[in-house]
Amino acid sequence: MKRIVLFVVVLLLNLQFLRADEGMWLLNQLDQLNLKDKGLQMDVNDIYSPGKISLANAVVNLGGASAELVSAEGLILTNHHVAFGAVQRASTRGTDYLTNGFLAKTRDEELPAPGYVARILLEMKDVTDRVLKGIDGIDDPLKRQRAVKKRIEQIEEEIENGRSDIDADIASMYSGQKYILFKYQRFEDVRMVFIPPRSIGNYGGDIDNWMWPRHTGDFSFLRIYMSPDGKGAKYSPENIPFKPKRWIKIAREPLSEGDFTFIIGFPGRTNRYSTSYAVSFAQNYYYPLAVKEFGEIINLLDEIGKESPQLAIKAVGTSKWLNNGMKNYQGNLEGMKRLNLLGEKQKQEQELQKFINSDNDLKKKYGDLLAKFESEYRKSAQTFERRFLLERFNYLAGTIPGIARGIYGTASERAKPEDERNPSFSEKNVKRTIQRLKYRYMSYAPEIDKALLKRMLLRIKALPEDQRIKGLDYIFKDFASVDEFVDYAYANTKLTDVAYAQSLYEKSLDELNKSDDPFIKMARALQPETEKLNKEREERRAVLNELEKQYIEVLMAWKKRPFYPDANRTIRLTYGKVSGYSPRDAVWYEPFTTLHGVMEKETGKFPFIVPEKLKELYRTRDYGQWVDQNLGDVPVAFLNECDITGGNSGSPVFNAKGELVGIAFDGNWEALTGDWKFEPVIQRAINVDIRYVLFITEKFAGADYILKELGI
């Protein structure tokens, strides 16, 4: 067995045999990818080199998405849909920036992007030995998981050293075979510079989402600010634009089909090393229920939004991310069935079991591994609907109920002995929650909140007897109807005041238990079942994590080739050529779309409304320097073979010289199952062409000063 473990370690370090076009690679793996042979025209050490300033230091982690520094004054580019939340929150103050867009003609006019946090990579380091020292001997999965989390927290606190503008994140790779430290500088003063109108930045809306051909100008300019002494800081009029040590130059040479490109960003989650049991659970339980729930809530929000423009703005933030998730899940379901992913996984596992049974040592360690997976997922399926609703109550039942649960949950954790608390609990996170609470209230509207809570309570009331959430029985017994309870609760709560809600985070559990606030009472009633659910989830996750770790080990030993780690919101690189694809028989999709295609799609009704000024530019062919001579038009979006997923939104797309040629914003519908399996023939990244970004900025918005700042 020692030889097998050694072989696995060697595979983790040697990547030369894996197909080049697949993978979301860690930056410390790049020197083994032979990128020069694939078309790279720069030194790989200029992309990332430990201890040196490189291209990776100009890539920004922007909340759950990505962005890129493009000037010496902290200017960043990201997607319109990434900046959407900031625009929506700013629009609730009386001006509809969502519809009309926003342009700051001077630095003084730049508006805060409420709730946005930018993080810039300072260091990346393997800390596996430090994390696992003395822990390898712990056999119990839950105890081991807790010990690992505690050790990680200790190391992160040591590195942060009390600085509020330093974030240390230690991420697990290969289900715990390796641990990598990512150290960031944190900036909480991000401001809006230029946001195109929705008719450009969200052209095609949810209809075109995940689809090709695409004609969306999905970009926005923001700016990072820092304190005068160079530290990351919260918003202040005294702050100055961030002065990065590295930013990305705009490409001046036209991009063409077949050109080498690469993307650096922060992909969210992939499940490529999952078993057939995980696929079956997603296909038969998670995706169908999520699609149903999200669809119903979207319809509900759409109806409420019709009541007034103000309510429409309040509702759109929630409905947008729900729509995005729902369509993603629908695409996954369709793709799983089309590719027979479940059958393919089952066939692979039959062959894997034969390999395990062929060696006594392997059989002893891994012989019942697949059977254990089956048992865990069977248990997960038994009460899944109840668990789904309870786990997502904080976000799908309205703003005020979710905040109340957060307040009560915080007090409950504080009341426990320190060694019995949830490992993810920390006072640092509580402090940040309190500070950021005001951003949640920017989307609050009583009409929306009441409708969401009513819907959630009716869903819970309709659960089968064996899945009852007993803590809420009092609502159905003490009130004549759910409507009566909802009206009573909102009429008798003070939690609609953000300052009051913030103050409750300082209260003890005993003090909260004396509260007669209807939402605190509801949170108190739910807490025992929440605690039980969290414990079960932690135990299940610990067991599955250990099984997944073993599964990857034996897969590596069987396949005799290296594996890149699944995406987990850490910085990655992917590469591939500009290329079209064939979605089905006798159909070929070209790799570029153009302004002409924007006009072809126009219907005059949302989401296919073209602004009059853009029509005029098209009619007069006033394209300036942004026309592509081969296309005879302004390019809008392009496809490449890069391997991306959620979280990559806003990622910079580079040419072979490391210059910016586009911004990643989507994947294609036919390959949404890429989170489970990479399909090189059809999987593509969809990117807005930098030439369209600059065309809209200069010719449509008249923001020449931005181009000057970019060095154009």
Return the closest-CA partner of residue 310 out of 94, 454, 551.
Answer: 94
User: Is 596 known to be catalytic?
Assistant: no
Return the closest-CA partner of residue 641 out of 705, 707, 575.
Answer: 575
Task: Give the chain's mean pLDDT.
Answer: 94
User: Percentage of residues in the chain with pLDDT exceeding 90?
Assistant: 89
Rounded to an integer, the average pLDDT of 459-467 is: 94
Q: Mutual orientation of helices 309-339 and 80-91 as an angle, nearest 10°?
A: 160
User: Is 280 known to be catalytic?
Assistant: no
The domain segmentation of the chain, as residue ranges, is 1-117+188-270+563-712, 274-382, 385-531
User: Percentage of residues in the chain with pLDDT exceeding 70?
Assistant: 97
Model pLDDT for residues 124-147, shown as the tens digit of each residue: 999 999 999 999 889 999 999 999
Number of helices (H), then strands (E), in the chain? 28, 19
In this prediction, residue 10 carries a pLDDT of: 39
User: Is 487 known to be catalytic?
Assistant: no
pLDDT tier for residue 629 given thresholds of 50, 70 and 90: very high
Q: What is the DSSP string of 103-166?
A: E-SSGGGPEE-TT--EEEEEEEEE-HHHHHTTTTT--SHHHHHHHHHHHHHHHHHHHHTT-TTE
Beta bridge partners of 167: 184
pLDDT tier for residue 561 given thresholds of 50, 70 and 90: confident
Which one of the listed residues 80, 81, 220, 259 is annotated catalytic? 81
Q: CA–CA separation, 391 vs 318, rounded Å? A: 17
Contact 645, 270 (CB under 8 A): yes
Collapsing DSSP to helix, strand or coil, 570 comes out as coil
Q: What is the DSSP string of 46-86?
A: GT--TTS--GGGGEEEETTEEEEE-STT-EEEE-HHHHHHH
Contact 207, 712 (CB under 8 A): no
Which one of the listed residues 218, 259, 566, 666 is annotated catalytic? 218
Sequence-distant (≥ 6) Cβ neighbours of residue 423 within 8 angstroms: 145, 146, 149, 150, 153
Return the closest-CA partner of residue 676 out of 639, 643, 640.
Answer: 643
In this prediction, residue 17 carries a pLDDT of: 38
Q: Residue 640: what residue type?
A: N
Q: CA–CA separation, 461 vs 486, rounded Å? A: 14
Domain 1-117+188-270+563-712, second-level architecture: Beta Barrel (2.40)
Confidence check: pLDDT of 510 > 60: yes
Long-range contacts of 399-402 (CB under 8 A, 24+ apart): 399/440, 399/441, 399/443, 399/444, 399/449, 400/444, 400/449, 400/453, 400/490, 400/493, 400/495, 400/496, 400/519, 401/449, 401/453, 401/456, 401/519, 401/522, 401/523, 402/440
Which one of the listed residues 259, 649, 666, 675 is annotated catalytic? 649
Q: CA–CA separation, 686 vs 689, rounded Å? A: 9
In this prediction, residue 15 carries a pLDDT of: 39
Q: CA–CA separation, 314 vs 325, rounded Å? A: 19
Confidence check: pLDDT of 19 > 90: no
Q: Higher confidence at residue 78 or residue 8?
A: 78
Rounded to an integer, the average pLDDT of 252-266 is: 97
Model pLDDT for residues 331-360, shown as the tens digit of each residue: 999 999 999 999 999 999 999 999 999 999
Contact 646, 658 (CB under 8 A): no
In this prediction, residue 574 carries a pLDDT of: 97
In this prediction, residue 571 carries a pLDDT of: 98
In this prediction, residue 93 carries a pLDDT of: 66
Return the closest-CA partner of residue 87 out of 228, 280, 220.
Answer: 220
Q: Indicate the range of 44-53, 416-425, 658-667 predicted with least confidence.
A: 416-425
Model pLDDT for residues 298-316, shown as the tens digit of each residue: 999 999 999 999 899 889 8
Model pLDDT for residues 468-478, shown as the tens digit of each residue: 999 999 999 99
Q: CA–CA separation, 56 vs 47, rounded Å? A: 6
Other CB atoms within a 10 A radius of the CB of residue 635 amount to 24
pLDDT tier for residue 7 given thresholds of 50, 70 and 90: very low
Sequence-distant (≥ 6) Cβ neighbours of residue 630 within 8 angstroms: 254, 256
Q: Mutual orientation of helices 287-305 and 309-339 as an angle, nearest 10°?
A: 160
Q: Higher confidence at residue 277 or residue 418?
A: 277
pTM here? Answer: 0.92
Confidence check: pLDDT of 428 > 90: no
